[in-house]
Amino acid sequence: DTAVSQTPKYLVTQMGNDKSIKCEQNLGHDTMYWYKQDSKKFLKIMFSYNNKELIINETVPNRFSPKSPDKAHLNLHINSLELGDSAVYFCASSQGRQGRTEAFFGQGTRLTVV
Amino acid sequence: GQQVMQIPQYQHVQEGEDFTTYCNSSTTLSNIQWYKQRPGGHPVFLIQLVKSGEVKKQKRLTFQFGEAKKNSSLHITATQTTDVGTYFCAGPHRGQNFVFGPGTRLSVLP
């Protein structure tokens, strides 16, 4: 049983489109995250969501918006996709804020914008 | 702002050689975590260090947290091809989210 699952695994789309990536965790964790990993493998946090508190990395464009229907899900919606959005997006979860306990990552979604 | 740096960026070793990656922070860290990402995979948690001067071992892996809690290291003894991947350290940013270092990409030649 996968602890943190993301769908889709691959996503190819045209510039200007709107897309969503779904994430679900079955670990009972109360904090979820979205990370972006670029071609140089840099892992940058985009959002964390804990008990309805959203913490946004100030460098993330407002075209990106997380949506959490419940504690087990944190979806990522992206408007007006740009070429520079191409990357691997990882969802993760932890119990409490990351740093006190380990983070579990999903398998990643490779987004390619053409 | 707080930054977490890692060196080297890349390391190529012959199987059986030792490997060390270093993580340095511009500010004191309350704790630090290490993750490994295999090629094509996702980051997987290895360990967390909390105490000043702490040393932890996992089989051939030895993790250290500096006395000043501003640096850390991961040492692998007698590397194997299964050690291939990118090793990330991560430290707290503004007391909340974790900032990942740029990673050290390890190649092991058989």
Please tell me the predicted confidence (pLDDT) of residue B88: 97
Please tell me the predicted confidence (pLDDT) of residue B81: 96
Tell me which architecture the domain covering B4-109 has in CATH. Sandwich (2.60)
pLDDT tens profile B12-39:
999 999 999 999 998 898 999 999 999 9
- Report residue B1's pLDDT band, with 50, 70 and 90 as the boundaries: low
Residue B83 pLDDT > 60, yes or no? Answer: yes
Residue B59 pLDDT > 70, yes or no? Answer: yes
E strands along chain B, which residues? 4-7, 10-14, 19-25, 32-37, 43-49, 55-58, 61-65, 71-76, 85-92, 98-100, 104-109
- Average pLDDT score over residue span B50-56: 97
Touching check for B44 and chain A: CB below 8 Å? yes
- Report residue B95's pLDDT band, with 50, 70 and 90 as the boundaries: low
Instruction: Print the domain residue range for A40.
Output: 4-113
Please tell me the predicted confidence (pLDDT) of residue B56: 98
Residue B44 pLDDT > 70, yes or no? Answer: yes
Q: Give me A90's structure tokens.
A: 């990882």
Please tell me the predicted confidence (pLDDT) of residue B92: 81
Which chain B residues are closer than 8 Å to A97 by Cβ? 96-97
CATH classification at residue A42: 2.60.40.10
Which chain A residues are closer than 8 Å to B48 by Cβ? 101-102
Q: Which residues of A fall below an 8 Å CB-CB distance to B? A: 33, 35, 40-45, 48, 55, 57, 90, 92, 97-108
pLDDT tens profile A69-110:
988 999 999 999 999 999 999 999 998 876 678 899 999 999
**Buried b / exposed e along A13-48 (16+ C-beta atoms within 10 A):** beeeeebebbbbbeeebebbbbbbbeeeeebebbbb
At residue B69, what are phi and psi to the nearest 5 degrees? 55, 35
- Report residue A1's pLDDT band, with 50, 70 and 90 as the boundaries: low
Distance CA A27, CA B27 (A): 32
Residue of B nearest to A46 (CA): B97
Please tell me the predicted confidence (pLDDT) of residue A61: 92
Number of domains within chain A: 1
Size of the A and B interface in Cβ pairs below 8 Å:
59
